Amino acid sequence: MFSKRRSLLLGLTALTLGLAACASKPELSRIQDPDADFHAYRSFAVLPGRPDGSSSLVERRLIAAARLQMERRGYVLDESAPDLLVNVAAVLEDRQRLRPAAADAPGKEAVVTEEYRLGRLAVDLIDARRRDVVWHSTAEGRVSAEMLRDAGTAAEKAVAAVFESFPVKPKARVAASAPASR
């Protein structure tokens, strides 16, 4: 139905996990269309994943987390005629950097190569009628082996972190009604 596709790489999930679980907060950024009225939008649909319809467990958790964030803000899932399209993408990269190290002798300088994984998560909201991106937010951070152990939960936390800057705040949860007093 939608011609645009969301690309989620399997390793990305680790990124997402890492972003949410890291001791230091991920670096977040966002940009939005200043003319977009996010309170005027009522419904959304999540863009389909891979062309063959398959998805990994982590991809499904990312999509479910994005859907939950939209619903918490009052948007209704409508796959036939949505106002907004949600696109989620993540990537994991192996990186290297040089860092200072203790030298063998005074006055000598030493450096070591440090290897690490960098994860990035991006969420785009697209005005379905105009086919224009109206909100784009990203999270980026280091991913450790510990972060990979509970990828699903980490993915959900990373998506929640990205949505913290969304212009429509989550609605307060409805408390269970207390018994009427006499």
Q: pLDDT at position 72, please?
A: 97
What tens digit of pLDDT does each residue of 105-137 get? Answer: 777 788 888 888 888 899 999 999 999 999 999
Q: pLDDT at position 173, please?
A: 66
Q: pLDDT at position 2, please?
A: 40
Q: pLDDT at position 24, please?
A: 55
Closest CA to 63 of 22, 1, 12: 12
Q: How far apart are CA 72 and CA 51, in angstroms?
A: 29
What tens digit of pLDDT does each residue of 6-24 get? Answer: 333 333 444 444 444 444 5
Q: pLDDT at position 80, please?
A: 96
Strand spans (E) along 48-150: 76-77, 84-101, 110-127, 132-143
Mean pLDDT in order along the chain per 10 residues (182 residues): 37 43 70 96 88 76 94 97 94 85 78 86 96 96 79 84 94 56 46
Counting Cβ atoms within 10 Å, is residue 99 exposed (0-12), middle (13-18) or buried (19+)? exposed
Q: How far apart are CA 147 and CA 16, in angstroms?
A: 9
pTM of the model: 0.73
* CATH match of 12-163 with 3.30.470.10: no
Token couple for 55: 């998805």
Helices (H), the chain: 12-21, 57-72, 145-148, 151-163
Please state the domain extents for the chain.
12-163
14 DSSP assignment? H
- The vertex-117 CA angle with 111 and 118, nearest 5°, equals 105
Sequence-distant (≥ 6) Cβ neighbours of residue 105 within 8 angstroms: none
